[in-house]
Chains A and B, each alone.
Chain A
Amino acid sequence: MGDLWPVEDHNLLGHWKLVPKRSANPFSEGGAAPSENTRIHAAGLAVTRARKQLVSDFSLDLGREVVALLGPNGVGKTTLLEVLAGLTTPTLGVLQFVNESASGGEPYVYAARMRVGYVPQFDEPISGLSVRQSVAYAGWLKGMSGPLLNSATELALTRARCTDFANQASTKLSGGQFRRLLIAQALVHQPEILILDEPTASLDPHEQSELKLLLTEAKASTAIILTTHNLRDLPGLVDRVIVLSGTEPKVFNSVAAFCGLETGGPEPTDAMLQRAYSGAL
């Protein structure tokens, strides 16, 4: 797969800095060096729009893992994802990509375009394009063309299990198929980090489990950060759970820890998950 990727993109490094702030966040020492496999280092992020604080003092070191952001509506989950995706610039804080070289590079918002794949909660297909063309369009937006684009498109279709309906009109898909198309679009440029905003929302149970399986496969090569209200998404997929509740975020290093269970034990039940979530808020 690596040979599909344009050479000049291999070493993209981005960092974006505003006013550095020492974070009081317990799971990230603001300004401290992130761990070796860290891909995004965020410290003391705050987002204010029209005098309203949407996100305050959020820190995260994201490595090769799946992180779930939980919390009630309006707590700033989507805003936070948009910051990490490079769509929104934070008002305060440090946000940077970290890999082999920790200095120099382009601003975060530019680096994020190539290193992050983003699946919004709400989207609509572009009429007139087939599923394959929609994925190719997403790849083209990322700067791909020619044979490279064709290969990347086919690969993304395969990874997102869209090959069966690849030639179908993108406007004629079921909810689950469309969600897979969005994931294929997000994966086409083989991002290091996949960001999903409520990926299983409005899907039926079968579609939810299919999507979860797909993401479980994707996590082998991509760090994932997602938001969800569906607590059943967590077991078997998520490595870390962060609960945003308007005050200080609560971090759990595993789903078991989130549920107060021992690691390696039986999978938590829905009731346990619900109880854990209520307790964390």
Chain B
Amino acid sequence: MKIDKRNPALAIILRSRLRFAVLPIALLALFLGQQLFDPGIPTWVNATQAVVQPIAVCGPLLAAFAAWDATDFGRVAARKRMRLSRNGGAAAIASVWLGSASWAVLSFALWATLLLVSQVNNQPWGTITWPWLVSATCALLAQVSAGAVLGYFWPTFLAPAVAAVVLFFINGAVVLIPLLHNQTLLSAAFSQVQQVAFTINLPILWAQALWFTGIAIIGLAIALGSLSAPTKTKINVLLTGTTAAAAGLALIVTSPGGFFEYTHSGWDYVCSKITKICVHPALEKAIPQIDDALEPTLAHIERTNFSASRYEWTNRGLLGEPSSGAIAFHLDSLSPGWKRNLRLELSRDLLTAGSSSGGPCDKVNGDADPGAFAGLKSIIAAWLADAPEAALPNGAQEIGAKSRFDKLSEIDRQSWLFAHTNAICTSTLNSDDF
């Protein structure tokens, strides 16, 4: 289809300087988004987050270009020309806004497509959170609209730079300065680490979309106010924007929950047949590597009280208690060093009273000073984790204890662990026990 470039509304959209920014900003977002994938844990939710999060940086940049575009129409003569138009400039200013918005959304669509397509081969778990993409689009529009307002009312070469910087900091300020419950969600730059056992609170996403759309429309209404469009049109646009923003704001700040909801029951474990390691479906492909990582620790605790019939992945620091008879372990990603960290964390959890690990110490309340026991516990944990450098004995007595423990055979150590389970769990172990 031939595009009639003489169609002025289309010409205004096509002339936008944002068209030059679409690809570079999409590539920047692609780079930023790639850093946000949890290595080894392919989920669509994480992929969606990787798409959305670059808006914190790319949104202000796109807004800067929108500001630059708007300076052309904010100059006195251009504004006079619009005011003398048949509809008082309403169509013209709407075209300017539409032009900037179109290119910004195109850039977003480009980086979203590239990032999401790049995940297809990883067989991500779950589904793409479309409402999150919608709310992100609206967040982008709100920033572009704010940038355009600045460029329109302050048509100088400084406007684009100021728009980018100011928007970046306003977004940050909304996140950082406490004011309202859930206020973080009012910023286009808010960030939240997505974990696989969470699902997103979808109603909040729609409320967010409403809030950002309202902001975008209010921006247009402010610009329209400077023109001679019919008062009824101005009032209608302003009312639409204000109503949407107010409704979104109210829904967000009165929402009882946060952005994420914990859904432990929303998925079924996938287990390895031999080692009895059970993980979230998003980690299914990593089971052989997790087997490999945990194998030394599982071998050390075999035939001790710390051994279990099943080892379950659970989310860190959450209510996710392991099933009865199972030992819990945590894993956030397969980023470098994860195997050692996984073993160490499991080992330490096993030795800590009330750590919800599902091990024998869970049922015991430590009545001694846990700090005093830290050095000795580190000797045991270092052995269990096959990480000798993690043993950090305090003082001559504990160094002596480590030395004696190092001289024990594997079977003797297992017997020792079996015999001292209660002392370990109650934090009453002392150097002489080694």
Contacts and interface: CB of A to CB of B under 8 A. Distances in A.
Nearest to A116: B84
Interface residues of B, number: 30
B77 A141 contact: no
Given A118-B84, A143-B86, A109 B228 contact: yes
Contact of A133 (B11, B16, B82): B11
A234 interface: no
Given A136-B6, A136-B11, A141-B92, A128 B82 contact: no
A85 to B, nearest CB: 7
A140 B80 contact: no
A113 interface: yes
B12 interface: yes
Interface stretch (B68-76, B120-128, B185-193, B210-218): B68-76
A213 interface: no
A218 interface: no
19 contacts: A85-B84, A116-B84, A118-B80, A118-B84, A120-B80, A122-B76, A123-B81, A124-B78, A128-B15, A133-B6, A140-B9, A140-B91, A141-B8, A141-B82, A141-B85, A141-B89, A141-B92, A143-B87, A145-B7
Interface string A110-151: 001110101010111011110011001111111101000110
Contacts of B420: none
Nearest to B11: A133
A136 B72 CA distance: 17
Nearest to A109: B228
Residue picked from A128, A136, A138, most chain B C-beta under 10 Å:
A128
A153 interface: yes
Nearest to A117: B84
A164 B351 CA distance: 87
Interface of B: 5-9, 11-12, 14-17, 72-73, 75-78, 80-89, 91-92, 228
Q: Which 4 A-B pairs rank lowest in CB-CB distance, beginning with the nearest? A: A128-B15, A141-B85, A143-B86, A140-B8
A145 B91 CA distance: 12
B72 A126 contact: yes
A117 to B, nearest CB: 9
Given A127-B15, A128-B16, A153 B6 contact: yes
A123 B78 CA distance: 7
A126 B15 contact: yes
Given A128-B16, A133-B11, A143-B87, A150 B78 contact: no
Interface string A215-229: 000000000000000
A114 B87 CA distance: 10
Contact of A124 (B75, B89, B91): B75
Residue picked from A120, A137, A139, most chain B C-beta under 10 Å:
A137
B69 to A, nearest CB: 9
A149 B5 CA distance: 13
A203 interface: no
Chain A, interface SS category? helix
A114 to B, nearest CB: 7
A73 to B, nearest CB: 17
Nearest to A86: B84
Contacts of A140: 8-9, 91-92
A266 to B, nearest CB: 39
Given A87-B84, A113-B84, A114-B86, A137 B11 contact: yes
Nearest to A113: B84
A123 B87 CA distance: 21
Given A109-B228, A136-B8, A127 B84 contact: no
Contacts of B92: 140-141
A138 B87 CA distance: 13
Contact of B8 (A82, A109, A137): A137
A172 to B, nearest CB: 14
B66 to A, nearest CB: 14
A224 to B, nearest CB: 17
B71 to A, nearest CB: 9
A128 B11 CA distance: 8
B73 A141 contact: no
Given A141-B81, A150-B6, 8 more contacts: A113-B88, A116-B84, A118-B84, A127-B15, A133-B11, A137-B8, A141-B86, A141-B92
Contacts of A185: 81
Given A133-B6, A141-B86, A153-B6, A128 B17 contact: yes
